[in-house]
Structure 1
Amino acid sequence: MDYQALEGNYTPGQFEEEIYQYWLKEGFFESRINPKKKPYTIVMPPPNVTGILTMGHILNNTIQDVLIRYYRMNGYEACWIPGTDHASIATEAKVTKYLAEKGINKWEIGREKFLEYAWEWKNKYGGIIIDQLKKLGTSCDWKRERFTMDDGYYKAVIHAFVKLYKKGYIYRGYRLVNWCPVSKSAISDEEVYYEEVEGHLWHFRYPIKGTDSYVVVATTRPETMLGDTAVAVNPNDKRYRHLIGKTVVLPLAEREIPIIADDYVDPEFGTGVVKITPAHDPNDYEIALRHDLPIVNIMNPDATLNDLVPEDFRGLDRYEAREAVVEAMKERKLLEKIEKYTHKVGYSERGHVPIEYYLSEQWYMKMSELVKPAIEVVKKGEITFYPERWTKVYFHWLENIKDWCISRQLWWGHRIPVYYCDACGFMDAFEEDPGKCPKCGMKLRQDPDVLDTWASSWIWPFAVHDWPNPDPNLDYYYPTDTLVTGPDIIFFWVARMIIAGMEFLGKIPFKRVYFTGIVRDDLGRKMSKSLGNSPDPLDVIRDYGADALRYTMTRLAPLGNDILYSNEKCELGRNFANKIWNASKFILSHLTGKPLPSLENIPLDIFDKWILTRYQETIKAVRQSIEDFHFNEATVQLYDFIWDDFCSWYIEVSKVTLTHGDEDSKQAKRRILLHVLEGSLKLLHPFMPFVTERIYLTLPRYEKTIVYAPYPVFDGKYLFEDEKAQARLIQEVIYVIRNVRGENKIAPGETVKAFCIVENKADKALLERYTSFVEKLAKSTLEFIERREPKPMEGVGHGKGFDIYISLEGSIDKDKELARFEEELTRLQNQKKATEAKLANPNFTNKAPEAIVQKEKDKLNYYSQEIEKISKIIESLKG
């Protein structure tokens, strides 16, 4: 691809797709083992195969791409391995719905036929998010793309299971789990979300055996009382101390259950007496274990009531059963009262119904020994977390870890490789189906469950290669360098990958973990489809361009902090790209085609030395920011240098030479302009890859892409501190004159008369030497004076060590300007009062997100500064 010119306006839709296809065709993202180069590896957190691009994906993958492009340009053998996760529950739900729309029942067609349809669905829809990620410009090695149900990956998962099973780390047991009645499967904590629900608190009377008395218990779930195996009070609650050890008769079920004492009971909740239903509440389950209580599961997998409840309630849905229990208690005069009650209810992320806490037989992994190496490597600093605060969270979880429920009652996924012989009772785990029982020769039956998705993705950093087979790619690219992910899965995935890496390879899986923040809207709400506040990233890319979205998202995201996003903020990124585009067009239009002199062989004036100094400072700062994961700081540093220093100042200064200088000085100026432009494009490329490549391909160059162009390296030879300070003084004088012009609405084409008082003799001498530059760039005449009293109709500006006075006579209508500024002053004073009132309201300051409160404080500060400035202008106009 060879672009000869930059034509027209910046229109990213005209070239982004073409450039990406060029990169793919040329294989620029493909990585190969190279003993002469140090590898830099990232494995993409595999998005669900059911997924579509979200703003969270934009943030996460942009940061990964910044790192990969940066290290690729720094000479590393950069390898970014992409892939998708089979997402057992999410995919099974999608396929089940897909079949239902065709009139096909999952249970009627059976497991094998269902899996055929699942693969058909995956092949048709499963790559959508990957195609969308390419629109973002992700520079993955797509030839290495993996899917967690690929044949090779599947074998790796099964190998890991069997190895741990043989070591005694995997076992079956009855435990309480999160249960989704729709998918009829156990689910992880990560697949549960909570919502506040307006419900009720029912107060029931439980008769005390052998007396006419009763205790009153309060519950939000009346239907579960049929599974009660005790009632409990706090041992320090004097009201009920005399009842401890007695028995109540469980209404409706007519079972006798004990009254026990446990510190868990809150005397302030309800009546201070609680019902204990161990099979359907995690806290009750723990109480039951402490007191050796029976555990009675009263529900079927679909959340209907089973045969362990009285006949009248069998087969009822849990909510039908709730109504029936309340009515039955009312009939028996055992319903004391009903109160309105708001509480949080856990919902299945995939089934979108309230979960049940459900006692069932599941597969578990013993974690107490497995976690020890994972704790040690982080303590030793072999793995570093960014931000560092997540290290404490990591330790807290691992040091208090419980055994991991790794089974799911689904069909789509990695099937548990345990086989049973119904004839002789044999049971064992195998990597391949043994076909028949090694003891009695009869046919074996495989366990019907599949593994939790996390129990397959925990080996992702090394199973993306050919593990457990010998593989030079694994030897070269593992361990990876950086993992970029969200803190919400620090336990479910990050910690478990570290555990797996240490257990199976004896090596850490990555050296650094960068935790992104959560993307929120301007009101501080987490972006979600249900709230309708989450834009479609593809629409944003269509409207603003991928570069603008990437730049804006990165700039809004301080290290690990949440970001407040709105589409309008992408105008910042688009305007930045447009500025670079127009600056590049200007520079290219001044190239004559004649060879330019080398940087070492040209004379440098004060502005040349200033821009070269600022360029070197920016190189150093941006490199440090990227390597320290301060990506937003890097974007600000690049913006300040490219927009302010290079485009707004140096290019403007250069126009004087390009217009009035001799040919040698023009060539020198062209060399520096091109040198800084090319370097700026390279510095910016990891953040805005498309526009930088598009411009780079028009420059006089030897490389066929910016992708492998060397990233600029700091060179102290081009630091000129004295000239930098001198140039800053000249700039500040020009800025102050322009600012006074702007405040007083002086027409751009009108030349003003400026007077300057300078405290320092050396500064005055410098400014006198560059008076012509100041006059051309500030559209003014400049006269140096010793002292001056402010006069009516005179604009005044101040800088460090100097004052500027500009005559406004003939430039403005005094009365009109006075009226305009007084109107603006009134507006600002009203805005300030409203903001002060808002900040004085505790309902706002205590309830609004911290970022929103800070935004109001910043507004107040701005209004105060503007009021002070405009008051001085009014005073000057009044004379």
Structure 2
Amino acid sequence: MSTELDKTFDPAAIEAKWYAHWEGNGLFRPERPNAPPFTIVNPPPNVTGSLHIGHALDNTLQDIVIRYERLRGKDALWVVGVDHAGIATQMVVERQMEERQDKRTNYTREQFIDKVWEWKEESGGTITRQLRRLGCSMDWSREQFTMDEHFTRAVLKVFVDLYNQGLIYRDKRLVNWDPKLKTAISDLEVETREVKGGFWHFKYPLADGVKLDNGQDYIEVATTRPETMLADMAVAVHPEDERYKSVIGKDILQPITGRRFKVVADEHADPELGSGAVKITPGHDFNDFDVGKRAGIEPSQMLNMLDADAHVVQTSDGLVPDKYLGMDRFEARDAVVAEMKELGFLIPHVTKDKEGNEVIQDAEPRTIQTPFGDRGGVVIEPWLTDQWYVNAAELAKAPIEAVKTGKIEIVPKTWEKTFFNWMDNIQPWCVSRQLWWGHRIPAWYGPAVDSSVGLTWDRSTASAPVFVAETDEDAKIQAALFYDVEPSNIHFAEDGIQAPRVWLETKRPDDSIVLWRDPDVLDTWFSSALWPFATLGWPDETELLTKHYPNDLLVSGFDILFFWDARMMMQGMHFMKDVPWPKLYLHGLVRAADGQKMSKSKGNVVDPLGLIDKYGADALRFFMAAMESQGRDIKMDDKRVEGYRNFATKLWNATRFCQSNGIGASTSLAAPRATSAVNRWIVGEVVETLSALDKAMAELRFDAAANTIYHFAWDTFCDWYIELIKGNFDDETKEVAGWVLDQILVMLHPFMPFITEELWHAQSRVNGTERPYELILAKWPQPSTAIDAEAKTEVDWLIALTSGIRAAKNELGIAPGTKLAAFCEMPSELAAKAVSNNMAAIERLARLSTIEVAPATPGAAMQVTVGNDIFVIPLAGVIDIDAEKARLEKAMAASAKERDALAKRLDNPNFVERAKPEAVEKAKADHAYHTAEAERLATALARLG
């Protein structure tokens, strides 16, 4: 019978066809109103993004789960969407404008936002198209965007509600400030790089003639950022440091500014580090900010010496010398060092060269871990600003309790310790960003009312009355009540600068109030924290929300555990009064082949689309699943991806073989009736595989699940069952083989959706019909039978005999096709039965021409043990025994020598601790190989007696 399948498996030819078919026919969310729900939401990628290897892993795992649950009959919903990515998107659009010699400030805010929306419609769908290439079966009919109208309404409601509950507030604190982008950024958007820098030591003189106990009239301080001394406000020493106890509370002078401040006691100062004294600049260092607060310095009193561009400005006390004003921070660094040196307050760093000569330098050279903005690309500055904050510590209480009590299970469990450590020590969450693109903060400011002077305008908004509301009209009503005027007398200005002018232009300024809206937008993590419920229609009580919240599972990279996962827990439990999902699965990173983290700068980034082009989406997906072992990162390995492409080809060719022998699709969900041992055995193997696969999926052991179906399809079905039934294609065998192949396609479908869908339909055409439904909508296997222990024992024995014979031939260099005679003097009952029932298969597979129940003929022979049965196979005339023994002994001695040398090297601490990690790993791998090889060769020698 001619096959319906092409001779060659071509992934590209089937992938586009089937994805378009699935999506076009609405098969990613079939109508199952009465089915139990199963819901996952994808971590929304940036609208500016393109598919990287981390996305490929994350979305492959999710698709495996959603396809699995869909096959199990669930109303499976995979919510898909993209994040508006405030900073990234604004940068993209501004960069395009720069190419046209244009800039954002040439437009009003509204005009610029219109341009961003235009870009989004034209170019913002790259990653969603790429997710389709990966095979992601998302519900595209309900694709979400965090700036959509319904989502924006949810974001504003959350902000207003949290504000009214006292959980959102405005505060002056240090933030990660990006001087290039001129906005605060989150910790996730900060990357640490190693930078060559210096560690400068300076003298700060004690005031009023005070001296240390040793007579010294100064305290030595050291810093990697000398420019910040222009805003120093204290010097800290450890309260138990005997050297400084006598001067705690005394005044000290900053030489350049002449500023007097106190020596304060604080455990932040480490007596063992440097001089044990630390200069404190609370307005420009996160640790110093906390020290300053403990010393009684209020944030409003902390000095700020930099503007938004990181240029030096005058501090509130007016003590920064004029020559520094306007300098870039790094220009100021050089100038400060030069002046301190000129004034005699620089303590030089003295070392000796190789010849013993003194080398004097201004600073001790150091490699410094320096924070950079991942998008702006410049050094991040801790900067004291007024921002909006969420009381994260209060919102964290419910998630902490949920994880402790098991209401939320984190998989792997090892991440729980990290989760608790961060959540127990959580800091206020800065949610404002100084951008135009994003959800604008729903807060309006108005003039302050002073009984003596009337209305006063505070452009900084620090002390201005604030009205937080979801709409302009609501803000008007609040302001009207506050100022005791009619809502119609409330007007709006573009900003705080224009507000006084607009007020003067009103017809009745004595009765008019002008408000202006906060110019900032919300951190994108604030909106994406609502993803599990806002995507389902909240704040409306939709049917979708009722059915699909809580979601069932979240799959996420561990690197966003706090930035996204924990914040979804906070917002979900606060607003929905329930966990967002009962289980959180955290996968590892995909690393380069050598274990290094992938980065563009290293040039080791792998493009998943290139791998799909080369090997097919199915092969890449299977690689991701097979390598995803809980708690471990994945090392990229193109050869493994190629190997899974070969696996797909193997299945393709096995299906072609079945078709050529009249084996087509099954019409039964239950296993067909089987009488022969081999058919009863393979049905039992399906039952066993299904059980192991379901267990692995329940435990989210993706590697175990993938390897289970891989070994069943390749080893059990293709290598053994097909070989065992060759030449015996009776009606029963055809029916069983067709049913088993169907079960393989269904079980493999979550991992390799494209090839399995193609083969599913190709199989039905063997019978001259087309399947009434696609594989994506098929039912998960239900064999409705048990494992036949008798058949399993018999066929497993047969496989063990064949494997043993083949291995022995390979060890002794005997050609695989060589037919041999075997003797088994006292066969067990099992051996006798298996040989009697399967001699034709034994001759074909094990290449044994006869098996005699008798003592073996005298002479050289090899032995093969199967269970309790010993088979003796004479080798006279087959190989040169003496030459083979000599070859094996020589090879065994070489492997043993190499094994012992490697063991000695690995036992040497100097090698293990000092050698490159890849060299140590290679030595371990080589040692394992030679150990196994020596054992294999010893076994081969033993066979020869």
**Residue aligned with 1:500, SS:** helix
2:307 alignment partner in structure 1: 300
1:275 alignment partner in structure 2: 279
**Residue aligned with 1:697, SS:** helix
Aligned with residue 116 of structure 1, among 105, 111, 114 = 114
Q: How do residues 604-643 of structure 1 correspond to structure 2 at under 5 angstroms?
A: 604-643=675-714
Q: Residue deviations 1:558-607, cap 9 Å, x none?
A: 12422222222102211211111111111111117899999877552111
Aligned with residue 344 of structure 2, among 322, 333, 344 = 333
1:290 alignment partner in structure 2: 294
Q: How do residues 118-137 of structure 1 correspond to structure 2 at under 5 angstroms?
A: 118-137=116-135
Residue identity in the other structure for 1:237:
D
The CA distance in 2 between the partners of 1:599 and 1:260, in whole Å, is 80
The CA distance in 2 between the partners of 1:677 and 1:551, in whole Å, is 19
TM-score (norm 1): 0.93
2:838 alignment partner in structure 1: 770
Q: Residue deviations 1:696-718, cap 9 Å, x none?
A: 01123633310010011353x33
Q: How do residues 843-854 of structure 1 correspond to structure 2 at under 5 angstroms?
A: 845-846=912-913
State whether structure 2 residue 188 is matched by structure 1 residue 190: yes
Residue identity in the other structure for 2:472:
D
1:217 alignment partner in structure 2: 221
**Residue aligned with 2:107, SS:** helix
Q: Residue deviations 1:624-668, cap 9 Å, x none?
A: 11121111101111112111111111110000313xxxxxxx111
Gaps of 5+ in 2: 210-215, 349-362, 449-454, 456-463, 493-514, 765-769
Residue identity in the other structure for 2:643:
L
Q: How do residues 8-47 of structure 1 correspond to structure 2 at under 5 angstroms?
A: 8-32=7-31, 34-47=32-45
2:774 alignment partner in structure 1: 705
Residue identity in the other structure for 1:137:
G
2:437 alignment partner in structure 1: 412
The CA distance in 2 between the partners of 1:600 and 1:577, in whole Å, is 25
Deviation at 1:106, TM superposition (A): 2.6
**Residue aligned with 1:197, SS:** strand
2:322 alignment partner in structure 1: 311
Residue identity in the other structure for 1:301:
A
Q: 1:600 to 1:320 in 2, by over 3 A?
A: closer
**Residue aligned with 2:801, SS:** helix
The CA distance in 2 between the partners of 1:347 and 1:295, in whole Å, is 24
Deviation at 1:144, TM superposition (A): 0.7
Q: 1:4 to 1:870 in 2, by over 3 A?
A: closer
Q: Residue deviations 1:249-294, cap 9 Å, x none?
A: 1021111121122111111222211111111111111110011135
The CA distance in 2 between the partners of 1:331 and 1:647, in whole Å, is 83
The CA distance in 1 between the partners of 2:87 and 2:687, in whole Å, is 52
The CA distance in 1 between the partners of 2:276 and 2:844, in whole Å, is 83
Q: 1:348 to 1:252 in 2, by over 3 A?
A: same
Q: 1:632 to 1:854 in 2, by over 3 A?
A: farther
2:599 alignment partner in structure 1: 528
Residue identity in the other structure for 2:269:
V
Q: Is the 8 A contact 2:590 2:636 kept in 1?
A: yes
The CA distance in 2 between the partners of 1:465 and 1:238, in whole Å, is 63
1:684 alignment partner in structure 2: 748
Q: Is the 8 A contact 2:863 2:873 kept in 1?
A: yes
The CA distance in 1 between the partners of 2:718 and 2:915, in whole Å, is 39
Aligned with residue 864 of structure 2, among 780, 797, 811 = 797
The CA distance in 2 between the partners of 1:752 and 1:763, in whole Å, is 18
1:663 alignment partner in structure 2: none
Q: 1:248 to 1:837 in 2, by over 3 A?
A: same
Residue identity in the other structure for 1:375:
I
The CA distance in 2 between the partners of 1:6 and 1:541, in whole Å, is 22
**Residue aligned with 1:718, SS:** coil
Q: Is the 8 A contact 1:517 1:563 kept in 2?
A: yes
Deviation at 1:154, TM superposition (A): 1.2
**Residue aligned with 2:777, SS:** coil
Single out whichever of 62-71 and 567-576 deviates more from structure 2: 567-576
Q: Is the 8 A contact 1:197 1:344 kept in 2?
A: yes
**Residue aligned with 2:553, SS:** strand
Single out whichever of 772-781 and 549-558 deviates more from structure 2: 772-781
Single out whichever of 545-554 and 514-523 deviates more from structure 2: 514-523
Deviation at 1:843, TM superposition (A): 5.6
Q: Is the 8 A contact 2:663 2:737 kept in 1?
A: no
Single out whichever of 285-294 and 113-122 deviates more from structure 2: 113-122
The CA distance in 1 between the partners of 2:423 and 2:915, in whole Å, is 33
Q: Is the 8 A contact 1:756 1:782 kept in 2?
A: no
The CA distance in 2 between the partners of 1:601 and 1:473, in whole Å, is 40
Q: Is the 8 A contact 2:37 2:76 kept in 1?
A: yes
2:334 alignment partner in structure 1: 323
The CA distance in 2 between the partners of 1:702 and 1:571, in whole Å, is 31
Aligned with residue 582 of structure 1, among 630, 638, 653 = 653
Single out whichever of 235-244 and 11-20 deviates more from structure 2: 235-244
State whether structure 2 residue 733 is matched by structure 1 residue 669: yes
Residue identity in the other structure for 2:777:
Y
Q: Is the 8 A contact 1:187 1:408 kept in 2?
A: yes
**Residue aligned with 1:41, SS:** strand
Residue identity in the other structure for 1:431:
E
Single out whichever of 499-508 and 283-292 deviates more from structure 2: 499-508
Q: Is the 8 A contact 1:41 1:79 kept in 2?
A: yes
State whether structure 2 residue 587 is matched by structure 1 residue 551: no
Deviation at 1:852, TM superposition (A): 9.0
Residue identity in the other structure for 2:865:
H
| RMSD across aligned positions (CA) | 2.7
**Residue aligned with 2:311, SS:** coil
The CA distance in 1 between the partners of 2:124 and 2:679, in whole Å, is 54
Q: 1:60 to 1:245 in 2, by over 3 A?
A: same
State whether structure 2 residue 903 is matched by structure 1 residue 836: yes
Deviation at 1:813, TM superposition (A): 6.0
The CA distance in 2 between the partners of 1:850 and 1:65, in whole Å, is 35
Deviation at 1:476, TM superposition (A): 1.8
**Residue aligned with 2:728, SS:** helix
The CA distance in 2 between the partners of 1:121 and 1:409, in whole Å, is 21
**Residue aligned with 1:40, SS:** strand
**Residue aligned with 1:649, SS:** helix
2:142 alignment partner in structure 1: 144
The CA distance in 2 between the partners of 1:28 and 1:511, in whole Å, is 27
Q: Is the 8 A contact 2:663 2:738 kept in 1?
A: no
Single out whichever of 555-564 and 586-595 deviates more from structure 2: 586-595
2:788 alignment partner in structure 1: 720
Deviation at 1:694, TM superposition (A): 0.7
Q: 1:514 to 1:341 in 2, by over 3 A?
A: same
Residue identity in the other structure for 2:815:
A
Q: 1:178 to 1:837 in 2, by over 3 A?
A: farther
2:613 alignment partner in structure 1: 542
**Residue aligned with 2:262, SS:** strand
Q: Is the 8 A contact 2:619 2:644 kept in 1?
A: yes
Q: Is the 8 A contact 1:616 1:714 kept in 2?
A: yes
Q: 1:708 to 1:580 in 2, by over 3 A?
A: same
**Residue aligned with 1:783, SS:** strand
The CA distance in 2 between the partners of 1:171 and 1:508, in whole Å, is 25
2:377 alignment partner in structure 1: 352
Deviation at 1:124, TM superposition (A): 2.6
Q: 1:530 to 1:789 in 2, by over 3 A?
A: farther
The CA distance in 1 between the partners of 2:807 and 2:664, in whole Å, is 39
Quote the sequence identity (%). Answer: 40
The CA distance in 2 between the partners of 1:763 and 1:183, in whole Å, is 78
Single out whichever of 82-91 and 471-480 deviates more from structure 2: 471-480
Q: Residue deviations 1:7-49, cap 9 Å, x none?
A: 11222112111111111122111355x4421111111110111
Q: 1:574 to 1:144 in 2, by over 3 A?
A: same
Aligned with residue 458 of structure 1, among 509, 529, 535 = 529
